[in-house]
Amino acid sequence: MAVNSFNRVRISRTALKHNYNTIVKAVGPARPVMAMVKADAYGHGMVESSRAFAEAGCRYFGVAELVEGVRLRTAGLAGDIYVTLGFPKNSAGLLLDHRLTPVIYSVEQARALSLAAIRRGQGVVGVHLKIDTGMGRLGILPKDVPGFLSQLAGVDRIEVRGVMSHFPMADVPQASNTMEAMARFDDVCRELRNGSHLIRHIANSGGVINFPATHCDMVRAGIALYGYDPAGIPLPAGISSQLRPALSCVTRILQVKTLPAGSGISYGHTYITPRPMTIGVIPMGYEDGFDRALSNKGEVLVHGNRAPVVGRVCMNMTMIDLSGAEDAKPGDEVVVLGRQQLEEITADDIADRIDSISYEVLCRLGNNNERDYIE
Ligand SMILES: *Cc1c(COP(=O)(O)O)cnc(C)c1O
């Protein structure tokens, strides 16, 4: 019989599909929603999550690296899979073999794809261009687009089928940055179009939620698919209030003990019991994605009550104050992320305490614990 870890991550397939459908409704039937499933679907499991989105009708998937695209295709996923970070030298052929969609930002990448296509006796390769409209990250700068295009014209069998960019602050509805970037993107699209049809896509979850004018021909949703607003605060009126967190994380109490007043807890004795206290030990530490910055700061749920973290978070263990659940015993369920009775801890709650964002909290808990899929 297989032995399971105490720590479990639960993913609701229903929540994933609900979030996909919510986004589809928000952007309208004419525009595909690309499911961004990089980083193992933000901790939700790339293959399983992609299958759930596919069951809900999704036909477009986005990954960061080529290996992820290969893994997805090998798992049997149909549809278009966009590889957004480029590919290692000499691996262009793999992209073609697995019918992945390359996003390129250099002529060298186009040449490598062209060569691979010629070697395979393959026809035209469709590519998407990545433009840096102000993110200050990956992509061709608008001023370099004309030079890029004239070089690309000399590359055999490469056809630009789409153009994409990315917003740095679409999670802030009042920031003027987004529509300024959008205007730069429109300029580049006009330059590129010259009669042919291009798939233009720039909106991330922030664009989907806050800026309908950026939806273009397709949107790329990440965090919203997993149930969170990129800004961390669901706006009551917007679609983010309809999203449902899909991931929860639970563990079990290992030991319960009563310590006298004045007892030091965990490494460095950063917590000293001010009175006799009931302390629980849980098998969840920074190795499991429970951030060490939650030392003396975090909370978990036991018997429907909040139990504060006391002392330093260790590699595999953390101590919690069971004053609110004195009758807790070894084996009782502890919710690290998610709902228990009337209480809930969200990825945003954890992120607020450690100066991070829901994205990182989900990736770390999700990718470092065993996952169970539920409906
Ligand atoms: C991750 C990613 C997205 C999704 O961003 P969210 O804020 O999670 O919606 C969109 N586009 C690109 C290129 C990405 O890398």
Question: What is the maximum span of the chain, computed from C-alpha positions, in angstroms?
Answer: 79
CA–centroid distance, residue 13 to ligand 1 (Å)? 21
- b/e for 240-257, b at 16 or more Cβ within 10 A? bebbebbbbbbbbbeebe
Contacts of 293 (CB under 8 A, 6+ apart): 353, 354, 355
Catalytic residues: 38, 267
Mean of the per-residue pLDDT values of the chain: 96
Structure tokens at 355: 């100066």
Q: Which atom of ligand 1 is nearest to the CA of 230?
A: 7
Kindly state if the Cβ of 204 falls inside 6 Å of ligand 1.
Answer: yes
Contacts of 294 (CB under 8 A, 6+ apart): 309, 313, 318, 350, 353, 354
Query: Which of 44-48, 78-82, 159-163, 193-197 has the least mean pLDDT?
Result: 193-197
Q: What is the number of H-type helices and E-type strands within the chain?
A: 11, 20
Query: How does pLDDT run across 325-360, given as a tens digit for each residue?
Result: 999 999 999 999 999 999 999 999 999 999 999 999
pLDDT score recorded for residue 37: 98
Query: How does pLDDT run across 220-267, given as a tens digit for each residue?
Result: 999 999 999 999 976 667 788 999 999 999 999 999 999 999 999 999
Kindly state if the Cβ of 220 falls inside 6 Å of ligand 1.
Answer: yes
Query: How does pLDDT run across 37-66, given as a tens digit for each residue?
Result: 999 999 999 999 999 999 999 999 999 999
Structure tokens at 33: 């929603």
Contact 60, 80 (CB under 8 A): yes
pLDDT score recorded for residue 197: 84
Kindly state if the Cβ of 36 falls inside 6 Å of ligand 1.
Answer: yes
Mutate to test the pocket of ligand 1, among 61, 163, 164, 166 (most ligand atoms within 8 A of CB): 166
Q: Look at residues 37, 38, 21, 40 and name the one whose alpha carbon lies nearest to residue 29.
A: 21
Contacts of 321 (CB under 8 A, 6+ apart): 277, 278, 279, 280, 307, 308, 309, 310
With 70 as the cut, is the pLDDT of residue 70 above it?
yes
Helices (H), 105-246: 107-119, 145-152, 177-193, 205-210
Query: Whole-model pTM?
Result: 0.96
pLDDT-derived band at 194, boundaries 50, 70, 90: low
Structure tokens at 82: 């966009």
With 80 as the cut, is the pLDDT of residue 274 above it?
yes
Contacts of 104 (CB under 8 A, 6+ apart): 86, 110, 113, 127, 128, 129, 130
CA–centroid distance, residue 167 to ligand 1 (Å)? 9
Mutate to test the pocket of ligand 1, among 101, 133, 220, 357 (most ligand atoms within 8 A of CB): 220
